[in-house]
Amino acid sequence: MEEQELAIEVRADGTITATTPADNRRQRERLSPFTGPDAELIKLFERWIARRDHVWQDRDLRAFGSLLHRYLFPGTMWSWVENRLPGLPHPARVALIFPPDPPFARLAAVPWEYLHRPGNDGYYLATDSRLVLSRYLRRAATRADLTPVDRPRIQIVVSRPKTSQLKDVVFDDVEEAVRATEQHGFAVLETLHDPGVDQLFRAIEERQPHVVHYMGHGEFRQEQAEGRLALVDSYGDVDWVSDRELAEHMRRLSRVPRMLVLHSCDGARADFTESFAGLAPQLLRSGLHCVIAMQYAVTNSTATAFSVELYRQLAARVPPDRAVQAARMHIGGRTGADPRLLGIPVTYLHGRPERLFPEEA
């Protein structure tokens, strides 16, 4: 964990530890089971956030974020964290680490990007200038440094199964925005439309992109603690592929992409019933270094604005977690923006974030 300035880790037994790896100082508390009153309220807020007919105010999100904060930082945990912040680099990377197995695996799908420090002087952790919030996967062994890349290759994937169960995926504007990154030093490959799982990974094996940018549908099944991605079968219908199956295909590649971007566009309105939140952890274990996911479906204009800023930052060799932070502020600061937008982008890391696209020495 030497890459992070502050790690917040939940263990399988419910122990939560805050650690500053540089000096190995730590604070330990115990989480209540995710079945108590606070957990039920969090689940209720999660259902409310999915309602399209509810106009959210910032005070609503502050209440939700404060509830998340109370659950994740029991006892004296947060006061210990705040006392450590002045001595950390600016901005400090804050890594949230959750266990892969029940009973606390469910926490990986909670939208922690809405964490809000309670009180009159409260703030959202995801937008505070002192912090860069990301999710991190603990690994058993240190990986070798990534080799320098002159022109990172981006593979766009658009999945639009023929089914009335899913809304159409609006992708043209985002595709155009991603292609515009060629002027910033990226190489954008031919778009892959409506692939099946075998076709998708055959294309990745042949083209060996550094980044795969998926536009389509995803979901997280809470009962099974399983994320799924909507691909297309041989009849053009939806083929829901589980995170574990995707990870198995990823592990068979001779060269795994460095980054995966996941989002769903639904035209004019955001859809908070879809989620990529639970999909990323399993994929990171397959060898990816970074997954950037939009936790819920967003409007076409939001996805375009986010992509433009994200790739602009990455082209400048900004680390991916900080690139997402800049893109988050960009979409959240637009006039009339839905306050929920601040919590939609989420970054999952598995390795040194600043070395995703290193330049030649």
Domain boundaries along the sequence of the chain:
6-136, 153-350
Measured distance CA(81)–CA(86) in Å, rounded: 10
pLDDT at 164: 80
Task: Quickly list DSSP for 207-273.
Answer: H--SEEEEES-EEEETTTTEEEEEEE-TTSSEEEEEHHHHHHHHHTSSS--SEEEEE-B-TTS-BTT
pTM for the model: 0.87
* Count of all residues that appear for the chain in the document: 361
pLDDT digits (tens, 9 = 90+) for 88-143: 888 888 999 988 777 887 787 788 999 999 988 999 999 898 899 988 876 544 45
Residue with tokens 């592990």: 251
The pLDDT-based confidence of 81 (bands split at 50, 70, 90) is very high
Number of H helices, E strands in the chain: 9, 15
CATH of the domain spanning 153-350 = 3.40.50.1460
pLDDT digits (tens, 9 = 90+) for 335-347: 566 777 888 888 8
Contacts of residue 151, Cβ cutoff 8 Å, sequence gap at least 6: 185, 186, 187
**Higher-confidence residue: 55 or 115?**
115
**Nearest of 285, 252, 259 to residue 101 by alpha carbon:** 285
- Residue 308 reports pLDDT greater than 90: no
pLDDT digits (tens, 9 = 90+) for 236-266: 999 999 988 999 999 999 999 999 999 875 4
Question: Both tokens of residue 53?
Answer: 């007919």
